[in-house]
Structure 1
């Protein structure tokens, strides 16, 4: 009897899978009167274009497909249809010239599983517009892009330098001390104060965020985004993602409860206080977007973005400066000439330090921390480059092809600060510089990140020289993995006091 039941269950499962495959094939091949989709590789039922996306990372696969199908093409991630945009001109036409039509947030299962479409980064429609407008205003009120936030970064930079001096020239991995220091900046805005570098809350936040960024940038993260329903049933590191997300959310919730107990609406201390006050003001409005889960998700979005990307960029900068010691030496010469040693570098020095500014921009271009951007979505039926994209179509913009576009950068595959310098060695902007994306979904923490990168890197190079443990030419700048992010390979270095 059990064997017969097992056979019947197996037969039923096989029939169900066959019916699903036929339905998927019908939907894939049936004509669409409303849309004129770009070309692309022919998908298989259920699997989509998995066979064309078999390389070590999806960024490489999609970049190769763009060479065959052009700068606008269609792929299927499982059964989900996605239009991919490649190259500076194409991405710019979408995100900048047609910014309203491409302003939706696309499907990203790894985050959707946790956020359920809530929070600042992964919401859509009126909720996203309201949360973005509110967040921008509050972050500005707490100094984003102003002198007051610069003072916080300089203060945190001093704590970081003190921690780095404790290495006393011995080899160490800079990953976690950089993450803790960078995270403290956004923590001071969100929670009202910085943490000691050995505070258990800060250590937990940075560890969990670092681990999640690494998993999401691995093949496991990519596979989950293609087949989320399947991976719900399979073991693997992707399962830690949601445990980690939940633990960070619990830490934020604990801080929110502390804020509620001591809230003074007339004197908000930080982002959480402002959000709680807004929640109270709109408590009777059934259509309000300000409620507890939105606060938790929005705070998590800001904490994740404010911790990981700048810390990862700084680690790439360390690797690049050790591999090219002449570049490091020239940056230090400029620091010594403009700032000298009596004070820390300040933001106003940047205008007088074109080479340093160019190096930082080139690190961001070359490292390409978020190579595929977060997915966009067209908010209406959209005519684009001779095609008609139906409302709700998800869009992947390959920022790596923007940053490596030979029409915009002379030697796109090489690290070369001259990409951001003119003939007179003055700093030169590039419209193809998009590490923070572009258009309506451009990262609202851009001004903070730019300040952090300049002030941190110049303060460190003013006090120390970065020394590799081996030969500079042996340093490998290729990413350890590439999915959501390009992750630098683990390394150690020595700091020599100057």
Structure 2
């Protein structure tokens, strides 16, 4: 063998030894962590999981490995928390350890770590405190927001009336109504239902949400540096958010030109005033990037999740006309037909309340919540979880935990009713997650779901173009359980 051949062989042996050393080191680390399927180098468990149906894959893994297990999504190590008791123990009982937000590589390409949703530490504390205070000052959870929802309900009713007698897809009208409530708080204005800019904005938001939860969206999160340069549908996410950022920037410029520091009109005004107050403070968190991303966080959270729940809720009621009839009977008894439903009616309508809770539980629109991370190396249920490990609170397994819901795969309002027909809370009802990172707009979302749904059912009877028994409530295949089937509905004025 010549010298060059011997050198090549030696180099190959060294590379092989290095790979084996890395694999041995990784195996040693994994022995202390929660169990899970053995990963391949670089790819992790991607070839062993269905990246288009991760919730189903995780449910299968939980049967094998228990309520705390580890998967590897590419090079990223993820600890999955399965079942209510496990999620509560981590996010509530051990909140000091598990309340950090995990790195979200796909989103970081657009938002970096600005805003409320993806930030940690002092940035998250300051922005969350400011946002909560500001939203409450503008009426979140109070009578003033209730009045805005009631007014928007009237606008929605008038739009829906234009479609009575024909079958149509209610998705966009419901989304516009829900979005207008948060727009009033954030931008200080509502938009007409035929506003082309507003319609385009919502379409871009929905498309980004759909791509984010697709298999290519999961791969973008697993291999961001690779996929950011590869052509594909995920590139639309970047284009869409660039357009949305331009829209927000235009609104900020408008607000700056008409700002009255003594009379702030909305969230943007309040943020601009705070920016001016802290302009001399080094490293202040109140600057445009945090304003833009926080506005995006509020806009998305205040639009997509609530409108999707309402959309699914209407389809569920089409499938279960007996449930629909009972809800409308309760609305007629408590509210009647001569005034808008109000928050005060809520406590007098236990069946309706149970139905809305069951819609949220059954719809399960955020199977994994938003990923958490361990703030420090810790021992959890006998396993070592290193600092910075991504943690998935698997909300599907919470909302469908058979220990708390006797028939978890079936839509059944009795899950939230006691023996006397009164409303019954369930501790495993966590559609907004739990702990320190619980959804910022939970109180407003609850109010919107109750008021919009009862107002629609007060004014209209729902009819389906399908036989109720044929209506399929399962999400579309290969969408990770978050994209639900389109449908058409016919409204008949009551």
Instruction: Quickly name the TM-score band, shorter chain normalised.
Output: over 0.9
| 1:168 is aligned to 2:167 | no
| 1:202 is aligned to 2:203 | no
| 1:326 is aligned to 2:319 | no
Mapping 1:450-489, distance limit 5 Å = 450-480=446-476, 486-489=482-485
Rounded to whole Å, the distance in 2 between the matches of 1:488 and 1:313 is: 10
Match of 1:253 in 2: 249
Mapping 1:337-376, distance limit 5 Å = 337-376=333-372
Match of 1:238 in 2: 234
Paired residues of 1:83 and 1:393 also in contact (CA < 8 A) = yes
Match of 1:101 in 2: 97
Superposed displacement of residue 484, structure 1: 7.0
Match of 2:396 among 390, 394, 400: 400
| Secondary structure of 2:41 counterpart | coil
Q: Return 5+ residue gaps in structure 1 as ranges.
A: 1-13
Rounded to whole Å, the distance in 2 between the matches of 1:131 and 1:485 is: 31
Rounded to whole Å, the distance in 2 between the matches of 1:483 and 1:26 is: 36
Paired residues of 1:222 and 1:483 also in contact (CA < 8 A) = no
Superposed displacement of residue 265, structure 1: 1.1
Q: What whole-Å deviation, never above 9, does each CA across 1:118-171 have from its counterpart, x for those lacking one?
A: 111111111001110110000000000000000000000000000000002101
Paired residues of 1:315 and 1:488 also in contact (CA < 8 A) = no
| 1:448 is aligned to 2:444 | yes
| 1:336 is aligned to 2:314 | no
| Secondary structure of 1:158 counterpart | helix
| Secondary structure of 2:47 counterpart | helix
Superposed displacement of residue 483, structure 1: 5.6
Match of 1:295 in 2: 291
Match of 1:70 among 58, 66, 73: 66
Rounded to whole Å, the distance in 1 between the matches of 2:239 and 2:339 is: 44
Paired residues of 2:166 and 2:491 also in contact (CA < 8 A) = yes
Paired residues of 1:218 and 1:481 also in contact (CA < 8 A) = no
Rounded to whole Å, the distance in 2 between the matches of 1:31 and 1:289 is: 37
| Secondary structure of 1:51 counterpart | coil
| 1:85 is aligned to 2:44 | no
| Secondary structure of 1:308 counterpart | helix
Match of 1:5 in 2: none
Match of 1:41 in 2: 37
Q: 1:108 to 1:435 in 2, by over 3 A?
A: same
Paired residues of 1:41 and 1:75 also in contact (CA < 8 A) = yes
Superposed displacement of residue 352, structure 1: 0.3
Match of 1:219 among 196, 199, 215: 215
Paired residues of 1:378 and 1:392 also in contact (CA < 8 A) = yes
Rounded to whole Å, the distance in 1 between the matches of 2:93 and 2:149 is: 34
Number of equivalences? 483
Rounded to whole Å, the distance in 2 between the matches of 1:130 and 1:268 is: 20
| Secondary structure of 1:76 counterpart | strand
Q: 1:139 to 1:228 in 2, by over 3 A?
A: same
Rounded to whole Å, the distance in 2 between the matches of 1:263 and 1:484 is: 44
Paired residues of 1:86 and 1:402 also in contact (CA < 8 A) = yes
Match of 2:260 in 1: 264
| 1:384 is aligned to 2:380 | yes
Paired residues of 1:370 and 1:484 also in contact (CA < 8 A) = no
Superposed displacement of residue 64, structure 1: 1.0
Match of 1:28 in 2: 26
Superposed displacement of residue 383, structure 1: 2.3
Rounded to whole Å, the distance in 2 between the matches of 1:291 and 1:117 is: 13
Superposed displacement of residue 427, structure 1: 0.4
Normalised to the residue count of structure 2, the TM-score between the two structures is 0.94
Rounded to whole Å, the distance in 2 between the matches of 1:79 and 1:20 is: 17
Q: What whole-Å deviation, never above 9, does each CA across 1:182-237 have from its counterpart, x for those lacking one?
A: 11010000001111111223112211111111111222212222222222232211
| Secondary structure of 1:487 counterpart | coil
Q: 1:318 to 1:72 in 2, by over 3 A?
A: same
RMSD between aligned residues: 2.0
Task: Name which of structure 1's ranges 53-62 and 364-373 shifts more when overlaid on structure 2.
Answer: 53-62
Task: Name which of structure 1's ranges 204-213 and 162-171 shifts more when overlaid on structure 2.
Answer: 204-213
